[in-house]
Every structure is written in structure tokens, then in C-alpha cells.
Amino acid sequence: MEKKDFTFNGTTLNGFLMLFVNIVITLAAVAAIVWGIVIDNDQSGIYVGAGLVALIATLVIWCGFAMLEPGEGRVMVLFGKYKGTFTKTGYYWQNPFLTVKKVSFRSRNIDVEPIKVNDKTGNPIMIGLILVWKLSDAYKAMFEIDSQTMAQSGSSQGNQVSIGTSSLTGIMNALENFVRTQSDAALRQVASLYAYDDTDSSADKMTLRSGGDEINAQLEEKLNDRLAMAGINIVEA
């Protein structure tokens, strides 16, 4: 499958340098406006107009500042077109017209509560799951599944705090809900393939009780197959 995620290679400037430049422009704009009002002659309008234009420009420049911590990323979109994923840590200034969608590449845990399923022989059993997962493909997470709508839906229902299309908490919680749903389905699928215990004294038959490592490996494989569409990788199950 073609990898659609790539590193953002657009213009990126040092944030501290741009902060200094923007402060200077702001001061110059205010000085021009004040000077135009003070001199009160034919050139007053020019000074005031230039100062207002410069002041508006500084407001646009302020929107381009961003700070990135280790393990985080920013999905860059310009007027609806994907421009890459930015992962370089530090304080930067970028095109203020870019739409920035925040993601995290850090490992996350999910403790799935035990669920009641039927094993291969039809006996009801309780089985749980502890899952370690991380995001590996930001493009798939943002555009191959509807994670942004899921994040907004969670906010409207009051389940999350400060969730939006660019909210790191909202996006990652929406992805976690997706992982939780898929892990529940994978757990049921794997559990139904084996009996809980050996019922016919056949030593070569794998059971849920005796084949822990092999069954865990199968569960990871099933989960990775299900979660690949969202750019999510299972570290351990």
C-alpha cells in the first residue's frame, strides 16, 4: 500500500527570531500611527494607513507561531491540501494560513474491561485485554478514518473537554475509542477460535489457558490488521 504520510518541507523559521521581528514591526506600526496623528498634515493619512496595514500584518504573523514537544506532531493542511507532517521539536514560525492538526506519537495504554464471550466449544468465559499502542501514520489517522468528526461528537456529548478538530486531546481520545472498539472485536474473534481448556486430553491442541504467548501473538496480528487503516501500530497486547 502506498504510504501517503510524508515529512512537512514547507518554509519554517526560527520562532524566537520571528518573535523579535514581529515585536519590532508592531512597535514601528504603533509609532507610525501616533506620528501620523501628531504631525497633522497632508502626510498624516499615509503614516496612519501604513501603520494600520503593518499592525494587521503583525496580527497575521502572530498566528504562525508553534511549539512542538518530543513525541508530538503537527499535520499541515493548506486550503484543504495535505502538506506533510511536522515533527521537529522546538519553537518555530510557519505559514499562518496553514491549518494545523495536532497528533501524538507517544505510546498509550488501554485496559479493556473483561468481556463475556463463548470459546470454541461454546462455553462462556470472561476475557480481558491490556493494550499498548502508538500512532505510526498521521495521514491515515486524520484522513483515512473520521477521527475529527468523532472528536467533535465527543465534545458535543460532553464526554471530553476542549475537543476540536485541532485539539490534541480530542483527536487522541477519538483514536483511542477507535482502538478500543476494534480491540473488543479482535478479542472476541480470537477467543472464539480456541477452547478454554483441553477437553479431549489431546496434548497438541492449543487452548486459551495453555497457549498464552502464541495467542497473544495472534491477537497482536489481528489488531494490527484491523488498525492499519488508521495508521496505528500495536506495541504489545
Q: What is the pLDDT of residue 26?
A: 92
Q: Is the pLDDT of residue 202 over 60?
A: no
Whether pTM > 0.85 for this model: the answer is no
Residue by residue, what is the 3-state secondary structure of the chain? CCCCCCECCCCEEEHHHHHHHHHHHHHHHHHHHHHHHHHCCCCHHHHHHHHHHHHHHHHHHHCCEEEECCCEEEEEEECCEEEEEECCCEEEEECCCCEEEEEECCCEEEEEEEEEEECCCCCEEEEEEEEEEEECCHHHHHHHCCHHHHHHHHHHCCCCCCCCCCCHHHHHHHHHHHHHHHHHHHHHHHHCCCCCCCCCCCCCCCCCCCCHHHHHHHHHHHHHHHHHHHCEEEEEC
Cβ neighbours for 123, distance < 8 A, ≥ 6 positions apart:
195, 196
Q: What are phi and psi of 48, to 5 degrees?
A: -65, -45
Q: Is the pLDDT of residue 237 over 90?
A: no
Res. 119 pLDDT band, cuts 50 70 90:
confident
Q: What is the pLDDT of residue 97?
A: 92
The answer to whether 84 touches 10, Cβ cutoff 8 Å, is: yes
Instruction: Write out pLDDT tens, residues 178-188.
Output: 888 888 888 88
The mean pLDDT value of the chain amounts to 82
Instruction: Write out pLDDT tens, residues 125-149.
Output: 888 888 889 998 889 888 888 777 6
Q: Is the pLDDT of residue 171 over 50?
A: yes
Which one of 51-55, 152-156, 163-167 scores highest in mean pLDDT?
Answer: 51-55
